[in-house]
Structure 1
Amino acid sequence: MTSNEMTGGEAVARMLQAYEVGPMFGMGGFQLLPFYDAARRLGLNHNLINDERCAVFIADAYAKVSGRVGVCDATLGPGATNLVTGLVEALNAGSPLVVFVGDTHRAHSWKNMTQETRQAEILRPACKELIRIEMIERIPELVRRAFAVATAGRPGPVVVDIPEDVCHATHPFEVTEFEADPALAAAPALRCRPAAEDLARAAEMLAAAERPLMLCGGGVHLSGATAAVEALAAAINLPVAHTMTGKGAIACSSPLSAGLFGRYDRIANKLIEESDCLLVVGCKLGEIATKRYSVPAAGKTVIHLDSVAEEFGRTFQPALRLWGDAREGLADLAAALAGRAGAIRARRQGYVDDVAGRMAAWRRSVEPRLTSGERPINMARLLHELNRIMPEDGILVADGGFAAHWGGLLYDTKKAGRGFVPDRGFASIGYGLPGAMGCALAAPGRPVVGLTGDGGFNMVMGELETARRLKLPFTLIVVNNAASGYVKALQHLIYGAGSYQSSDLVEVNYARVAESLGCRGIRVEDPEQLAAALAEGLKGGEGPTLLDVVVTRDPAQMLPGVDNRTVQVKKGDRVA
């Protein structure tokens, strides 16, 4: 066998090369310099970021869209602690990441080294597993472990902590040590199926139901199960509602689509109330999806299919638990029902016609808002114009806060698949720009639009420089309401008009900000300008286009509906 003396940093780089990882982002420090030098020599696609949180956000969005492991890195101390928000997003959302973090020289630890902190203890709750490498010769083994954990079960981020002396040390590695299973570079790397007797019982429950409904969460996309959702739904006329992360489980234009359910909904909450059997797939039934744990109502018959057994019964006790992968479980259900699917489908035709009729009626009811000519621009009009122009393969990235809620309620995916990417794992604002960058890298050639508030953009605007440097062709819409819109709207709902505290921003022309960073900027103040501005952005080119869209300053109109946490409004009051 042939051995090769190399640094620990180069050993890490060679393992990443073996996994054929995609673009990586980080901000280096002394601890990881051998890794950076090896990345340069080996030709890895590594890029400087301006804020480590954004490095994780980019890797997270890249993983969400590509299904492949996202990779980023940070130096010790403030670099490591800046990762926390992005790591929790990936942990809660189930995004497979491997994140490398430099740490102190072990011979000098706890001697007041510059930037030293208890970073392993800080990061451990924010990731699926934290692996500290104490011996240089174990680097290949432990990097393989990181990829295996990141892609198994519900995927998630794994942090690899590398002390300075391990990264800078040298060791004669054997060439054969740098071998990797390519299956572990994407998630899910392993799949399991529900028990046969549980599947048979679930099939009987679905067959007997008169008004069943499938509720899809983000796990449908993690599993790559959208084709299985479409197949089962079409086979037995099973309508489908979705969470924000589950949007795209089927096309929003499908006659079987019941749209968003939970805090904000179109018709789905009423259908859930009327349903006699709910099939929950890849959904944790969290606060927003359940309208603060009130949907479904207690006593509803629920079949819960999920790959994480710990989610069963956390917020709702199901009648039947199906422990397994969403794609495989749905395929097995379809097979179990195949012999009588035709009869079931015919029996339910009136039901699905009713669902389609309700959706059509809802669309008619909100038409005035969707086509509103008011100035400043109504958010519904912005989403309407985006729906009209976005191609079938387009991707909308929605920042936390009201951007995700407006997008979740009104944006229509035109085909099944991950065409809507909100950061609902942690709902941090600031995701819109780096998320759009990650999507553009994951799906070159697909039109990408990021939707962010002015508050979220203020946090991360320095990454426009990164996007320009990488010549990433996407459109970023900055929803400019000169406020922390979600907070101001809630203050208005709870405390009344004029009761605003620390929720206003100064007026900024963000188109000029973009231009000052060498990007194309377009300010939109008239709703009649929206279509042309969006078309200009979607032309692509070298680098991003920023649309500064001036939207309503009225806090009563900042949310897509009445937040269920407020008690000042009558039950069921909702605007589009």
Structure 2
Amino acid sequence: MSTNEMTGGEAIARMLKAFGIGPMFGMGGFQLLPFYDAARRIGLDHNLINDERCAVFIADAYAKVSGRVGVCDATLGPGATNLVTGLVEALNAGSPLVVFVGDSHRLHSWKNMTQESRQTEILRPACKELIRIEMVERIPELVRRAFQVATSGRPGPVVVDVPEDVCHATHPFDDADFEADEACMSAPSLRCRPASADLEAAARMLGDAARPLMLCGGGVHISGATAEVEALAHALNLPVAHTMTGKGAIACTDPLSAGLFGRYDRIANRLIEESDCLLVVGCKLGEIATKRYTVPAAGKRVIHLDNVAEEFGRTFRPMLRLWGDAREGLRDLHAALAPEADTIRARQQPYAEDVAARMVAWRKSVEARLTSAERPINMARLLNELNKAMPADGILVADGGFAAHWGGLLYDTKRPGRGFVPDRGFASIGYGLPGAMGCALAAPGRPVVGLTGDGGFNMVMGELETARRLDLPLTVIVVNNAASGYVKALQHLMYGAGAYQSSDLVEVNYAKVAGALGCTGIRVEDPNEIAEALRIGIGSENGPTVIDVVVTRDPALMLPGVDNRTVQVRKGDRVA
């Protein structure tokens, strides 16, 4: 066994190498310089970012699509505090991340060190766990701990705080110190199964139901349970509805798909109302998914399968709680129902046919919007063209707010799996471009499109330089309405035409912006030009493409609904 004297920074780099991490992003400072030097020497795929928040967004999207741990870093002070928004996204969404931040030299802490702040106190609520390394010799142990915590239970981000003197200090490490737990390289690293008695009760409830319905959230993707969702749905003729993050639990084009439920839905909310047994899988039943806690209605028979016990009863009291991993729980539930599956499937055939017929009728009822020739362009037409252009293995990344809601309602995945990636953990705008970068890195060869508003793109457009530097073949669609569209639409709804405050943007040609940054830029003002622009962007292998789509400026038509429905606002309720 050989012993090597090395810095703490090199020890961190060697541990990351042992865990086989993918691309990581950061912006260095003096505190982490030994780590940067070691990353160069041992061949870590480390890349400079222009804004630390985007580093976390990239890591988050990478983790969502690959299932592997996303890694990034930041220097102390403003570098560390810039991480907060992305960390909360990962925390709420269940994305496994390990994030390193430099900190001040302990000998000089609290003596007005440059950029010093109480960063551990700021970051602690934004992550699953914060680990501060106080002794250089403990680095291998604590990095292993970070990966273990990030990938177990509900996955999440772990922050590793590294004081300057610990990173620069040296210690004689043994080769055996740099061992990684292979199970903790991806999430979930551990799985638990619901109790057998609870599974038997759930099987009886589903077997006796006349109109059962499965409601899937993002936990289905975290667990890697889409094959199990599809298998159980087809075995029983069990229709499936989904949240925004649960899209792809089964293919949206599957006859058993009931589409999005909650605030924006196609046919799912009525099916929930008519159902006599709901199977909720990997879903927190939050505000948007439940249409502000009104769907399902109180008293519904609900079976809730989740691996986080604290979620049971938080927003809806289920009749039966199944505490366990979604994949394992669905497998066991399928096995329990197998003896009766043929009988149930035959009995449910007319119900399944009714669901499929309702979806066909819904599509027909909104066809005029989906094929609209309006100028400026109707959002429904844009999403319809995207549905036609995207191959089955494509990934759509939807930025927060406006883009996520339109995409959640209208975008159709063509196969089960994570083909739709919205940042619904925190719903921050600015995710579209860096999220697309993370997906492109996680799934090379798969077409990646980011859908973002002009406001969100304004926040992060500097990362086009990063995407170009890495020659990432991705497409970003900028929904250009010269406004903070969601806010302007709500102001119109609440206060009437013309009552707009701080919601307008100056007109910008983002295709020219892209060109100035060395990327391909295409501006689309005619809906008949959308298909060709998408063909060029999705088919390109020459770095990033930005498609600047000029959409409606009418705030009465901006709300994310294919029929631009009139939203009734209850007295005292300020959310549409």
TM-score tier (shorter): over 0.9
For residues 511 and 285 of structure 1, what CA distance do their matches in structure 2 show?
39
Q: Which residue of 2 aligns with 1:180?
A: 180
Q: Aligned residue for 2:500?
A: 500
Question: Could you tell me how far apart the structure 2 residues matched to 1:557 and 1:33 are?
Answer: 51
Return the alpha-carbon distance in structure 2 between the equivalents of residues 227 and 146 of structure 1: 30
In 2, Cα distance between equivalents of 1:215 and 1:402 = 23
The residue number in structure 1 matching 2:102 is 102
The answer on whether the counterparts of 1:371 and 1:384 sit within 8 Å (CA) in structure 2 is: yes
Q: Match of 1:189, SS?
A: coil
CA distance in 2, matches of 1:483, 1:107: 49
Structure 2 partner of 1:145? 145
**Distance apart, 1:182 and its partner CA:** 1.5
Deviation at residue 181 of structure 1 after TM alignment: 1.3
Kindly state the Cα deviation for residue 169 of structure 1 after the two structures are TM-superposed: 0.3
Query: In the aligned structure 2, how far is the partner of 1:200 from the partner of 1:374?
Result: 54
Which letter maps to 2:383? L
> Partner of 1:106: helix, strand, or coil?
coil
2:8 alignment counterpart: 8
1:2: how far off?
Answer: 1.2
Percent identity for Structure 1 against Structure 2: 83
Structure 1 residues 90-239: aligned runs within 5 Å: 90-239=90-239
- CA deviation vs aligned residue, 1:281-328 (integer Å, no higher than 9, x gap): 000000000000000000001000000000000000000000000000
Output aligned runs, 1:315-464, within 5 Å.
315-464=315-464
Q: Deviations over 1:323-369 (max 9, x none)?
A: 00000000000000001100000001110111001000000001000
Q: How far does the alpha carbon of each residue in 1:389-439 deviate from its partner, in whole angstroms, 9 at most, with x for none?
A: 100000000000110000000000000000000000000000000000000
Which position in structure 2 is the counterpart of 1:254? 254
Asked if 2 retains the 8 angstrom alpha-carbon contact of 1:291 and 1:564, the reply is no
Alpha-carbon distance in 2 for matches of 1:43, 1:2: 21
Measured after TM superposition, the shift of residue 540 of structure 1 is 2.1
Provide the residue aligned with 1:33 in structure 2. Answer: 33
**One-letter amino acid of the counterpart of residue 201, structure 2:** R
Other-structure match for 2:24: 24
| Letter of the structure 2 residue corresponding to residue 279 of structure 1 | L
What TM-score comes out, normalization by structure 2 length?
0.98
**Distance across 2 between alignment mates of 1:116 and 1:555:** 44
Deviation per residue, 1:34-77 (Å, 9 max, x gap): 00000000010000000000000000000000000000000000
Per the alignment, in what secondary structure is the counterpart of residue 121 of structure 2? helix
Q: In the alignment, which residue of structure 1 is the partner of 2:569?
A: 566
Alpha-carbon deviation of 1:519?
0.3
1:486-525 equivalence runs, <5 A: 486-525=486-525
1-structure distance, mates of 2:428, 2:453: 12
CA distance in 1 between counterparts of 2:256 and 2:292 reads: 26
SS in 2 for 1:107: coil
Cα deviations by residue, 1:95-117 (Å, 9 ceiling, x for unpaired): 00000000000000000000000
- The change in CA–CA distance for 1:109 and 1:22 in structure 2 (over 3 A counts) is same
**Cα distance in structure 2, aligned partners of 1:564 and 1:185:** 45
Q: Secondary structure at the match of 1:348?
A: helix
| 1:563 CA displacement | 7.9
Structure-1-length-normalised TM-score: 0.98
Measure, in 2, the Cα distance between the counterparts of 1:361 and 1:541.
39
Is 1:70 the counterpart of 2:70 in the alignment?
Answer: yes
The DSSP-based 3-state class of the residue aligned with 2:107 is helix
* In 2: Cα distance, 1:65 partner to 1:498 partner: 42
Match of 1:274 in 2: 274
What's 1:571 paired with? none
- The number of residues matched between the two structures is 569
How does 1:469-480 map onto structure 2 within 5 Å?
A: 469-480=469-480
The reply to whether residue 535 of structure 1 matches residue 538 of structure 2 is: no
Deviation at 1:542, TM superposition (A): 2.4
Q: Counterparts of 1:540 and 1:23 in 2: how far apart (Å)?
A: 22
Determine helix, strand or coil for the equivalent of 1:130. Answer: strand
Contact 1:263-1:564 at 8 Å conserved across structures: no
Q: In the TM superposition, what is the alpha-carbon distance from 1:541 to its structure 2 partner?
A: 1.6
SS at match of 1:477: strand
Partner Cα separation in structure 1 for residue 377 and residue 236 of structure 2: 42
Q: 1:559, CA displacement in angstroms?
A: 1.4
- The one-letter code sitting in structure 2 at the alignment partner of 1:506 is V
Q: Which consecutive residues of structure 2, in runs of 5 or more, have no partner in the other structure?
A: none
Q: CA RMSD in A?
A: 0.9
The separation in 1 between residues aligned to 2:330 and 2:320, in whole angstroms, is 15
Distance in structure 2 (CA, Å) of the matches to 1:392 and 1:8? 45
Q: Write the deviation string for residues 209-243 of structure 1: whole angstroms up to 9, x where unpaired.
A: 00000000000000000000000000111100000
1:457-499 Cα deviation digits (max 9, x unpaired) = 0000000000000000000000000000000000011111111
Letter of the 2:283 partner, please give it: C
Q: Per-residue CA shift, 1:481-533, capped at 9, x if unaligned?
A: 00000000000111111110000000000000000000000000000000000
Amino acid at match of 2:260: L
- Deviation string 1:190-209 (CA, Å, 9 cap, x unpaired) is 00000000000000000000
User: What is the match of residue 305 of structure 1?
Assistant: 305
SS for the counterpart of 1:249 is: coil
1:539, CA displacement in angstroms?
1.3
Q: Provide the secondary structure at the position in 2 that maps to 1:304.
A: strand
Alpha-carbon distance, 1:183 to partner: 1.4
Could you list the runs of 4 or more consecutive aligned residues of structure 1 that deviate by over 2 angstroms after TM superposition?
560-568
- Measured in 2, the distance between the counterparts of 1:563 and 1:344 equals 40
Deviation at 1:564, TM superposition (A): 5.6
